[in-house]
Amino acid sequence: MTISPLGKLTALMEMIKFSHTVFAFPFALMGVVLASLASGTSPTFGQVVWICVAMIGARTGAMGLNRIIDARIDANNPRTADRHLPAGKVSLSEAWLLVLGAFALLLLAAAMLNPLCLKLAPVAIFFLVLYSYCKRFTAMAHLVLGLCLAAAPIGAWIALRGDIGWPVVVLGLAVLLWVAGFDIFYALQDYEFDRNQGLYSIPARLGVERSFLIARLFHVAMVILLLSLVFSVGLGYLYLFGVLVVTGLLIYEHLLVRPNDLSRLDAAFFNMNGYISVTIFCFTLADALL
């Protein structure tokens, strides 16, 4: 059966779970807000558009590449065997075309922002590629993924100011720990498979109980880092209330998943983390505007 171009595009977007861009996108926009507060100027419409384009290109290319590199592993894992590449819903050449197009879009957006963004774009791509191989040699893959998503607010700051400031480094560290924490939860699904296949993750290396403890510590540190932003760029009570709401969402996320009960992992991973990123951005923006 011939699949229409629209159907093929839909399959490619499903392959990379395009809707999950919501995890990092609000933090990129939060980087825009912090940069604006620090410099006392507002970004132009064009700058915001190109930051969004860069974010979409980076995330799309990274996810597509991850699916290509992990295709054989996914085919052997009962949980992932039905993904688009192992199941033949998307061809390898189509996936590569998506990846190359997405990274070209990232480079174009970086060039349209400023010279430093263009110089650092290949560095960002290097870490996006590195992450896809990490599970083969280090349990620190969760932290590398966190570093990749931490680049979203840092990149937005660089796009507007042409430098790297302490406030956005703090935000980047908060994002890194947040992502690493929930990615540890996500890896619990493949705990037995990873151990049997010799793949690396914190759950496979340290066990389920210790993994829960590390994820909790990461998320506590994330909250502390978010609170510390109040002293660096002049955020106020609305932002603090937003951090309080995020703390509540994190606590609820940890209550959803227990070492002996992973049945609500999808709700904890997909729903709660989307709420967390959108919530902190909205309160940051509201505080900056009001």
- Average predicted confidence (pLDDT) for the chain: 91
Reading the block at residue 141, the tokens are 């893959």
231 pLDDT band (50/70/90 cuts)?
confident
CA–CA gap between residue 35 and residue 43 (Å, rounded): 9
Q: For 125-171, how does the pLDDT look when each residue is reduced to its tens digit (9 = 90+)?
A: 999 999 999 999 999 999 999 999 999 999 999 999 999 999 999 99
What Cα–Cα distance (Å) separates residue 192 from each residue in 89, 198, 231, 256?
27, 10, 44, 21
In a domain, residue 3? The reply is no
Phi, psi torsion values for 258, nearest 5 degrees? -125, 155
For residue 2, is pLDDT > 60?
no
DSSP code for 281: H
Q: For 36-82, how does the pLDDT look when each residue is reduced to its tens digit (9 = 90+)?
A: 999 888 999 999 999 999 999 999 999 999 999 999 999 999 999 99
Residue 230 sits in which domain range?
12-289
In a domain, residue 47? The reply is yes
In a domain, residue 1? The reply is no
In a domain, residue 6? The reply is no
For residue 102, is pLDDT > 70?
yes
Share of the chain above pLDDT 70, in %: 97
Instruction: Spell out the residues 6+ positions from residue 207 whose beta carbon is closer than 8 angstroms to its own.
Output: none
Contact 26, 280 (CB under 8 A): yes
The predicted structure's pLDDT at residue 31: 95
> Which is more confident, 2 or 23?
23
> Cα–Cα–Cα angle for 95, 49, 122, nearest 5°?
50
In a domain, residue 5? The reply is no
Average confidence (pLDDT) over 173-199: 93
Q: Which of 289, 285, 249, 287 is nearest to 268 (CA)?
A: 249
CATH number of the CATH domain containing 191? 1.10.357.140
In a domain, residue 7? The reply is no
CA–CA gap between residue 266 and residue 87 (Å, rounded): 22
The predicted structure's pLDDT at residue 267: 63
Q: How many domains does the chain have?
A: 1
| Type of residue numbered 43 | P
The predicted structure's pLDDT at residue 173: 97
Q: For 260-272, how does the pLDDT look when each residue is reduced to its tens digit (9 = 90+)?
A: 777 777 766 677 8
In a domain, residue 205? The reply is yes
CB neighbour class for 135 (10 Å; exposed up to 12, middle 13-18, buried from 19): buried
DSSP E strands: which ranges in 113-235?
A: none
In a domain, residue 222? The reply is yes
The predicted structure's pLDDT at residue 268: 65
